[in-house]
Structure 1
Amino acid sequence: TEEVEDERVVAIRKTLQGQLNRLSESNIEGIVLQIEAQYQKYPRHHVTSVLTSLILQSIESRIHMLDTFLYVNAAIVGAVFRIVGLEPVAHLVQKLMEEFEQRFTQSMTEFKAAQGAEASEGDAMTTGKECQNLCVFVAELYNFQVISCQLVYDVIRLCIKDINEFTAELLLKLIRISGQQLRKDDPLALKEIVRQVTETIGASGKLSVRCKFMVESLTSLKDNRMRNEMSQNAENVARLRRFLGNMDKRRAVGAVEPINIGLQDIRDVETKGKWWLVGSSWVGNQYTGDTDGPTALQKAQKDSDNAEMERLLKMAREQHMNTDIRRSIFITLLSSDDYADAFERLLKLDLKNAQAREMMRVILHCSGQEQAYNPYYTLVAYKLCSYHNTYRLTMQYALWDFLRELGESDVGGLGRISEESSSLGANVPLRRIVNLAKTYAWLVDKQVLSLLILKTVTFARVGEQARVFFQVMFSTLFLLHKKQSAQDVQAVYSVFQRAVSNPTMCHGILFFFQHFVKNCELVSEDERPIMKWGCKVAKQAIRSGVGSTSFDDM
């Protein structure tokens, strides 16, 4: 009902307002976690709407905002971009640019009216403070890789259409805050802008002192002669960028691609649809400069019709696919014809480094959510693990993460980061434990993974949930060879022989077999002999490889 919805909005606003009121560089991480908690607790639309409103209202002030306030708020947006995804940040960028253009037009009118009344040149410094604050915020979002240089260059192009003290002030702020990065990202665009400015001032003739200083600053930037003091908060911004980079690594977010849209996309939102929504009528990125081509999400959706894509996107949200990359992988998996098609389409997403590793985590998530074990996800994982060692390594780390989730806090050495520690030992659904155990058993049997992925497990004291996982994993491994032929013996023997380089782990595995697998209660009476056979073959392989009699009593 509307009343319940209003109560939710009030609760969200109260929480977020309190967090943002005390925002500073020192407590930004805790506030980011509180914002994430709101997204997990309430509908995303409500949280996004309130967060956008609060941030823009605080920035859109008639007073001059401190740079610190603006770049810390921009860092918050950058963090939301990484942990929640594209949509909330895209919504904020859309509202920000709409408000900026409206304020820009209003401020230009006020400035020209003041000029007609013979206002002093210094009045430009106080004209349109709201617009100036919004402009600085755009530059800070660019610094934190939320938006690409295209949008900032479009703002610059808007300003140089009519060069006066007010637009010169905006340009000087952009140059001071983001100039060096703009030059690095697209020096040709900067060169063209300097050319246009030169032509414009040549036609107008007379220039104020402030405008001349702006032109000199632009020229110095183009020629890489800009003075260092023009980037006052570079060190603080760099520290916050490192914070966001560390967040990427801890959360396995992967590399975040800045939103690559221009002012025209902002203006066309009513006619062409919301550019950030899959299935909208937006035709795509029209930028003609150097880019890395279509985004992963665009590639994932290009062959699907809008209705189906909307359905898949809804499912992705329900499954907490909270980044553009994760959604693209999820949609590719669910829209592929078979595992071979999925493998080919995933590779065509052309994801790099940490982005590519997200594939395995999404695959495991999907496998764990199935009501019954679905070999489709295992086969896709097999193809990827066979393709490159990166995916095999990710499967190992993902297993350690999962075992920690099951309560094995010492697996993998260091425990999880503090914000995830509360999930250790949580009650994980049995279907997820079983499905992932069968996935890993199959991959180990096919030898794209080795039993050495279990090298950090202390089998003598695993908890109840982890015990079930390993019982299912090893029993599945043996049941894959239930015929017990010579070929089956060799297959099982080979799996365990590959693990003998770690005698401590092998000792733990045989201990686990003796107590929990040989007479495993999770298999039927008819399958018990297969368990005993498998344990015997494994013991022979380990004893042969390790060359010790210490295993004889097991």
Structure 2
Amino acid sequence: MEEDFDLDAESENSDISKEDSRHDSEEDEDYDSEEFRGFGDYDDDDDETIGAEVVPDEGASEHPNITKAAGAYVPPHLRAKQVVLEGNKETDEQTKLKRQAQGLLNRLSEQNIGSILTEIEGLYRNFSRNDTTTIVTRLVLDTVSSRSNLLDSFVILHAALVASLTKIVGIEFAASFIYDLVTSYKKHYSILQAAMESHSVDEERGKECTNLIVLLSELYNFQVISSILLYDVIRDLLDGDLAEFNVELLLKLLKNSGTQLRHDDPNALNDIVAIVQQKTSNPNSGALGSRAKFMLETLSHLKNNKSKAVQNQAVATEATTRMKKFLGGLGKSHTIRSHETLRVSLADLLSSDQKGKWWLVGAAWTGDPLVDHRDELAVEKAPAVSESAILKLAKKQGMNTDVRRKIFDYVNAHEQLSQLKLTEIQQREIIRVLLHCCGIEKTYNPFYALVAQELCKDSHSHKVTLQFCLWDFLRELGEAEVGGTEVVKSARDRESVVDFDVTTAKNRVQNVAKVYAWLIAKGAANLMIFRPVNFTALQPRTVMFFQIFLVYMILDTQLRHPIVDADNKLQIPKKHNDEALEEVVMKAASNGGLAKGLIYFVSKLPPSTDQCSKSIAETTEWGLEVIRDTLKAGMDLAATLA
């Protein structure tokens, strides 16, 4: 019997890997031998044979499932061990992938970027997605992080490739690439900073940080990342002394993306200018170098919206424009899987190894609770008392959720709202809390209107929320049919129309009217939000709302800053700006019902100007006449075209 066993073992050596594989799968499923006997007619001797062959020799590997045979399956939980055992060596497949990707990047140009992108997309189909993302990211960063100063057009081309891959592969590619980019930048920045502190000669300094800063700024220009990360990088550069290499990096960033930064977040740019001015005015900062003076001049031009700051960037600007056109037409030849901008901060990226990547689904975690608890204990008690007072006030005002309580801290809301990790549904609470806080103020505070204006610039969803909040408010005033059939039906099914238990007082009507007047006058909203209103049958409080609204909308179109109160101290330009008011009103002329309703209200229920100053009364009368004439002209034009 033993001789037969040996003969069988020798004859089955060639098929041992197949038997092992089947044996492993049977162990995983944990079937009972009496219930499942296999697909063949095996006797007891056969079972013993298989079991005997699986036992490893004394010199065998500790992990029998890890095999170097080509094509052998390795369970996921053993792959990391395999990498360690093999000394982080690349597999044949990864080497082949790297060689193909490197060849594609070597041939990359503006003329063939479309075909190169198609071939890289093919690599994602033929190879592991994780390997492809890792290798492409590594190759691009190795190319850009050169010690020599690269042409901006060269970096722009690679940034366009990354932006294209983000669109067709998904937001996870951008998340991985940006993390590696920022990590590489911080590593080279630390090396550069250490070299400066040790007074190394200039020849030893590479241009890695400069090239990576250009890549980061161009990814922002291509809307891969938001302004949050770029402003964080600027603040990080300004955190220490204005060293020469810090100024050089700031100049490079401002030249490439300064105009777009000013457009996206002018208030943050003003904060940056204030920080720079504070540092340069410090007597301990010493004499300013030529680069620092040029940076101040550049910031001044950006703040004042002058074009001198970008005159020397004509070639780079043209390259960026061409690549933006290419990205705009990408949907014609590829399936677009991501339209989002990565709104992640520098702190989020640097702490992702402790907190995870919240910007990716399934990649966030709560972190080490012991570390979090230690950090909480380090916080001073005074701010905690202040926060407790704010939370008590929030609770008193009906802020009954964590999201609303965070937004209620409106002192810091303008700076922190964009950093709150809110879902799309939770973001709707921002506008509701702003309008609520504005309504309960005894005196109108234009701060809320300015915050709402900036929010509407960032996202269209805030404009939609503004519209629904207005309709809710008008139903509070007694306009039960405002909002459409479905909205009115759902409102009647609820016990109350709005979430906040606030009585509709006169000052609340005035404050809300002033907010919407500013938002509509400055283009954050438009008159079409009043289309469900029946102006021929308004409640008394609604009439007061629209009278205040019209006066302030007219005045706001003539002024650059919001009005607190239309009193005698208000300075109004003697020459009226007809075009500004006509532009606001023309948006309502296309809707015949709304245009007729506004004409009726302006003619039959005009706001009283008896107690106003002469200049305000004259401006209001002029504005009402412009509204009537513009709406009539728009209706006549619409009738002619019809």
TM-score, normalised relative to structure 1: 0.50
Structure with the greater relative contact order (CA < 8 A, sep ≥ 6): 1 or 2?
1
Rg (Cα) greater in structure: 2
TM-score, normalised relative to structure 2: 0.43
